Amino acid sequence: MQRLLAFLLIAQFFLAVGQAQSQALPAPSYWKNERGSELFVWSATGGAIQGTFTNHAQGFACQGIPYPASGAVRPTGLYFIVTFGQCNSFTRWVGKINGPQMPTSWTLFYVDKNGKPSKLKGADTFTRVW
Q: pTM value?
A: 0.81
Closest CA to 111 of 30, 7, 27: 7
Half-sphere exposure of 71 (CA within 13 A, CB side): 32
Write the pLDDT tens digit of every residue in 63-88. Answer: 999 999 999 998 889 999 999 999 99
Mean pLDDT (the chain) is: 88
Q: CA-CA distance, 3 to 113, in Å (whole number)?
A: 17
